[in-house]
Amino acid sequence: MENVFYPHDRFFKEVFSHPEVAKDFVRRYLPTDVVSHLNIDSIKLHKDTFVDHNLEERFSDLLLTVDRIDGNSLYIYVLIEHKSEPEPMIAFHLDRYMIKIWEQEGKGKNSWRLHPILPVVFYHGERPWTVSCEFSGLMFVPEELRPYVPNFQYLLFDLATRSDEEIEGILKLRIALLLFKYIHKVNLIAKLKEILTLAVEKENKNELSFFLWTVVLYVYSNVDKSMHDTINREVDATLKRGGYSTMTTIAEYLVNKGKEEGKLEGKLEGKLEGKLEGKLEGKLEGKLEGKLEEKLKGIKTTLEIRFGFVPASVDPRLKSISSFETLEELFKQSVTSSSMSEFLMELDKYTPSNIR
């Protein structure tokens, strides 16, 4: 089955893969009476997902475990609602996914003591959240039946109800939350300038560079292609003020990450070629090889960020291409393709059939 690209899911997982981000979110946004009983430094991220495949476009999820100060463990399960309106059955989905977590916990055991799960719904839609936060809200329950009907309450984290000033946290967390808040709004580009300005003025370039790549790619994946040039200009201007390299396309911006490696490989290869075939030829060969290598790395980096994987067949197919202009065109396709299949179809146009 093809890995489908869901930009909200990919960006959320990328952000919360940083342990310091997950810890800061729990510390700041969970109820204080819960947090006071937790050892925040013990938080661990699970890579498992429990969302049904047919609902992955609508939901993402995140499972954390944390030690309580009484020596027991707690699961924190975050279900992220990506649509612009609330999901009426979200408590039902939460119930099913929590059952899956407990089933996984007890796999291979005849009996076990369940660890409690704190369910959190993360919502960044535009419409107000009007759905009950209790499981029992899904049904009419007469008073005499309440003791016999299962029920739980989930914690709602609704970005729409928070002002920008109320969105706090370490820089990566703030950037992510602000971006989630404005990703569907008409003033996204203006807000993107503010968000990037916040980043480039306060953070170490080497530490934040790759994270900024993912931020801009996330925006690219959620806006119409007609807006890409406008975004490029605004991002260029903002990054230049912060001392970063500018870009003419997002692909060129990404490739800066691997440029030095490409130059080094080009020089080394050029020297070897120069010994065998003459200094001039070696210099030209090394320079071209370095340029091709940096373009190739930029393509693979972009695909990895956008789709979460790069098929093994991509590398030999890219390496079979000796035209710098062709790789530059494939750069653009790696950014604008809506799926990995679409990119591979474009790649097929430039690679021999015997290595596809």
pLDDT value at 31 more than 50: yes
Please report the pLDDT score of residue 243 as a whole number: 67
Please report the pLDDT score of residue 146 as a whole number: 93
- Segment 296-344, tens digit of pLDDT: 888 887 887 777 778 888 888 888 888 888 888 888 788 777 778 888 8
Which residue blocks in the chain are alpha helix, DSSP H? 7-16, 19-29, 32-35, 90-105, 171-182, 188-202, 205-220, 228-241, 250-277, 279-307, 314-319, 324-336, 340-348
Give Cβ neighbours of residue 89 (< 8 Å, ≥ 6 apart).
138
Contact in structure between 340 and 314 (CB atoms under 8 Å) = no
Structure confidence at residue 351 as a pLDDT band (50, 70, 90)? confident
Contact in structure between 100 and 32 (CB atoms under 8 Å) = no
Structure confidence at residue 266 as a pLDDT band (50, 70, 90)? very low
C-alpha span between 327 and 318 (Å, rounded) = 8
Report how far apart the first and last C-alpha atoms of the chain are (Å, whole number): 18
Instruction: Count the Cβ atoms, other than its own, within 10 Å of residue 255.
Output: 24
Please tell me whether the overall predicted TM-score, pTM, comes out greater than 0.85 for this model. Answer: no
What torsion, rounded to 10 degrees, do the Cα atoms 203, 207, 212, 213 define? 160
Please report the pLDDT score of residue 262 as a whole number: 45
Structure tokens at 310: 């790069």
- Segment 113-146, tens digit of pLDDT: 899 999 999 999 888 999 999 999 999 999 999 9
Please report the pLDDT score of residue 273 as a whole number: 47
Structure tokens at 54: 């047919």
Instruction: Count the Cβ atoms, other than its own, within 10 Å of residue 99.
Output: 12
Amino acid residing at 49: T
Give Cβ neighbours of residue 243 (< 8 Å, ≥ 6 apart).
200, 205
* Element (DSSP H or E) covering residue 61: strand 59-68
Please report the pLDDT score of residue 1 as a whole number: 41
259: DSSP letter = H
Nearest in space to 237 (alpha carbons), one of 271, 300, 303, 192: 192
Q: What is the mean pLDDT of the chain?
A: 80
Please report the pLDDT score of residue 263 as a whole number: 46
CA of 286: how far to CAs of 75, 264, 265, 268, in Å? 53, 9, 8, 7
C-alpha span between 26 and 16 (Å, rounded) = 11
More confident residue, 47 or 225: 47
More confident residue, 71 or 224: 71
174: DSSP letter = H
- Segment 173-218, tens digit of pLDDT: 999 999 999 988 888 888 888 888 877 766 555 556 667 777 878 8
Please report the pLDDT score of residue 208 as a whole number: 62
